[in-house]
């Protein structure tokens, strides 16, 4: 059994039973709380356990951070549309070129990849490429999915949000993270459909998830769990 609970302070809590669990336990996974209990466990006891550990869980959530991104010659990050290629050259400055599915970033021979300013410069170049691709592809794909499933939205904006993949407000304005370009295509579609469903259902209640299942071929939970294994663009 697995279900999603929402708490105003703690956010989404994944409540899961496991045949291997012999006790109740809590952990932070991908920035959210995972609560596991034995198969014959009682939800009421788990909720009481969560409340007992509330202060500790809040501290854990506040201290959570995504993995640190290190950009150097060994990093061959694969995004939705390109693979990263960092190399040294005899040119004095840094430059990049996005061509045929490769983002080439050239660095002077003397580059010290351990320096914070070097990492920030490389990250800025990577973000520039991701933003270019996000603006090129995401609004078009959102429009295609909206027409395919009978949704409508007001505007779409690409931003550098790190806490979420996307959002939708009551006016039908959709905000998408450029980090979506780090996902495979089927998960990009899942996030876009998630925000489109919010143009109809603003909360994560039963009607929302019924709608999500309708537009994903009853794969909403499977896709949601797969998305949890990915991170938005990590900090340096």
Tokens of 154: 């007001």
Beta bridge partners of 106: 87, 95
At 129 the three-state DSSP class reads: helix
Residues of the chain with CATH 3.30.2010.10: 116-227
Each residue's pLDDT tens digit, 100-159: 999 999 999 999 999 989 999 999 999 999 999 999 999 999 999 999 999 999 999 999
| HSE (side-chain half, CA atoms, 13 Å) at 184 | 6
| Distance of alpha carbon 159 from alpha carbon 45, whole angstroms | 41
Beta-bridge partner residues of 17? 37
Enter the CATH code of domain 116-227. Answer: 3.30.2010.10
Q: Quick check: pTM over 0.75?
A: no
Contact 212, 204 (CB under 8 A): no
Total Cβ atoms within 10 A of residue 83: 12
pLDDT digit string (tens) for 153-207?
A: 999 999 988 768 999 999 999 999 999 999 999 999 999 999 999 999 988 889 9
Lowest-confidence pick of 15-19, 45-49, 58-62: 58-62
For residues 87 and 72, the answer to whether their CB atoms sit within 8 Å is no
Rounded-to-integer distance, Cα 164 and Cα 78, Å: 20
pLDDT at 62 over 90: no
pLDDT at 236: 46
Which parts of the chain are beta strand (E)? Answer: 2-7, 11-18, 25-29, 32-38, 83-89, 95-99, 102-108, 155-159, 166-168, 173-177
For residue 235, with 0-12 CB atoms within 10 Å meaning exposed, 13-18 middle and 19 or more buried, which class applies? exposed
Residue 49 three-state SS: helix
């Amino acid at each position: 059994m697995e279900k999603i609970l929402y708490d105003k302070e703690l956010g989404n809590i994944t409540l899961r039973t496991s045949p291997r669990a012999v006790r109740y336990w809590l952990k932070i996974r991908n920035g959210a709380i995972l609560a596991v209990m034995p198969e014959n466990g009682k939800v009421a006891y788990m909720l009481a356990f969560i409340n007992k550990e509330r202060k500790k869980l809040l501290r854990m959530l506040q201290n959570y951070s995504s993995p640190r991104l290190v950009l150097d010659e060994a990093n061959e990050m694969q995004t939705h549309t390109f693979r990263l290629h960092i190399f040294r050259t005899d040119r004095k400055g840094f430059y990049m070129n996005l061509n045929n599915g490769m983002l080439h970033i050239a660095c002077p021979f003397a580059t010290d990849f351990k320096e914070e300013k070097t990492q920030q410069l490389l990250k800025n170049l990577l973000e520039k490429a991701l933003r270019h691709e996000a603006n090129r592809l995401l609004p078009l794909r959102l429009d295609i999915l909206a027409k395919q499933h009978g949704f409508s939205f007001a505007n779409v904006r690409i931003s550098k949000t790190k806490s979420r993949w996307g959002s939708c407000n009551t006016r039908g304005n959709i905000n998408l993270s450029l980090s979506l370009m780090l996902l495979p295509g089927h998960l990009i579609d899942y996030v876009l459909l998630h925000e489109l469903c919010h143009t109809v259902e603003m909360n994560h209640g039963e009607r929302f998830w019924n709608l999500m299942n309708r537009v994903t071929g009853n794969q909403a939970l499977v896709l949601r769990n797969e998305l949890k294994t990915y991170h938005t663009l990590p900090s340096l």
